Structure formats: C-alpha cells, structure tokens
C-alpha cells in the first residue's frame, strides 16, 4: 500500500466512526424523547427543554444540523478522490456513484428541513444558527445556555 492508500484508508475509518457516533447520538436523543413523551421524565443527559424542543441540538448537532449526512457524503467524496489519485484519472467510475449519492442528500435534505421547520417552531432559528452539513464559520452553533435564556 502506498502512503496515499494508508492516508485515505485512515480518513475513511475516521469518517465512518464520525458517522457512527453522529447516528448513535441521534438514536439516543430519539430514544430519550420517546421515553420522555411516555413518562414525562427526562432521560439522564437531556433536559426538559432539549426534549420538548423535539429535535437534537446536542453534541455534533450543535454545529451541524445533519452531521451524519455530512460524514456519509465525505465518505463518498473520499472514495472518489482516492480512486482519482490511484488511477490518475479524474473521470473514473467512482465519480458517478459520488455525484449520484450526494445528489440524493442535496435533493432530499431540503424537504426534510421544510417538514421539520413546519413541525418544530424553533427549527427556523436552528437553521439560522447552525449549518446544514458543515458548521457555519459565521456562527458559534447552538448554545443551549443562550437558548434557555431566550426561552427556546
């Protein structure tokens, strides 16, 4: 294996781990929310305000509205770049898969966001403060303490 192969393989492992933890964070939040809706008792690690809000704003989700989606797209982009560097051809079979897969995310995520904004009153503020896939360089993300003071 070349240095590039080792580097790309490690990057893919890191991205897959990031996606795993983002997915797990989302799963934990929704399990806690479901339990809270049945018992009216917040699960350890979450406040009533976080669970009442209805969508996850903790951990990675304080900086990206869809960190798991971002990681998945980064996996495919990495596969494409790795394939291009390995073959020396920027037009290669991995480009079609990468473009197709990323197009699905870029096409379906706005619909998901539209539904969430209609379902949760604070979601539009979340959209304003937090980047869709990548953290916004112009925002500090979702600050739970600041939002609590504002009553959100």
Q: What letter would DSSP give residue 59?
A: G
Determine the longest span between alpha carbons in the chain, in angstroms.
Answer: 58
For residues 103 and 111, give the distance between their C-alpha atoms in angstroms, rounded to a whole number: 13
Taking the CA atoms of residue 44, residue 20, residue 139 and residue 32 in that order, the dihedral angle to the nearest 10 degrees is -20
Number of domains in the chain: 1
Q: Strands (DSSP E) along the chain, which ranges?
A: none
pLDDT of residue 147: 72
> Which pTM was predicted?
0.88
- Residue 122, helix vs strand vs coil: coil
Query: Could you list the residue range(s) of the whole structural domain that residue 79 is in?
Result: 3-150
Residue pLDDT, tens place only, 59-80: 999 999 999 999 999 999 999 9
Q: What percent of the chain has pLDDT over 70?
A: 97
How large is the average pLDDT for residues 84-103? 92
pLDDT band at 151 (very low <50, low <70, confident <90, very high): low
pLDDT of 144 higher than 80: no
Q: In the structure, what pLDDT confidence band is assigned to residue 1 with cuts at 50, 70 and 90? A: confident
The whole-angstrom separation of Cα 30 and Cα 70 is: 20
Mean pLDDT of the chain: 93
Secondary structure, 3-state, 85-107: HHHCCCCCHHHHHHHHHHHHHHH
Query: What's the sign of the alpha-carbon dihedral 149, 142, 152, 46?
Result: negative
Tokens describing residue 64: 């990206």
């Amino acid at each position: 294996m070349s240095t590039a192969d080792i580097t790309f393989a490690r990057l893919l492992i890191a991205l897959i781990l990031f996606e795993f933890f983002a997915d797990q964070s989302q799963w934990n939040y929704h399990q806690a929310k479901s339990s809270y809706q049945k018992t009216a008792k917040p699960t350890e690690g979450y406040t009533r305000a976080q669970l009442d809000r209805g969508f996850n704003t903790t951990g990675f989700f304080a900086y990206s509205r869809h960190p798991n989606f971002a990681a998945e797209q980064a996996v495919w982009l990495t596969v494409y770049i790795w394939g291009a560097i390995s073959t020396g051809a920027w037009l290669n079979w991995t480009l079609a898969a990468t473009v197709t897969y990323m197009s699905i995310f870029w096409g379906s995520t706005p619909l998901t966001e539209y539904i969430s904004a209609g379902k949760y009153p604070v979601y539009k503020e979340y959209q304003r403060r937090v980047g869709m896939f990548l953290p916004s360089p112009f925002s500090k993300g979702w600050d739970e303490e600041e939002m609590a003071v504002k009553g959100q």
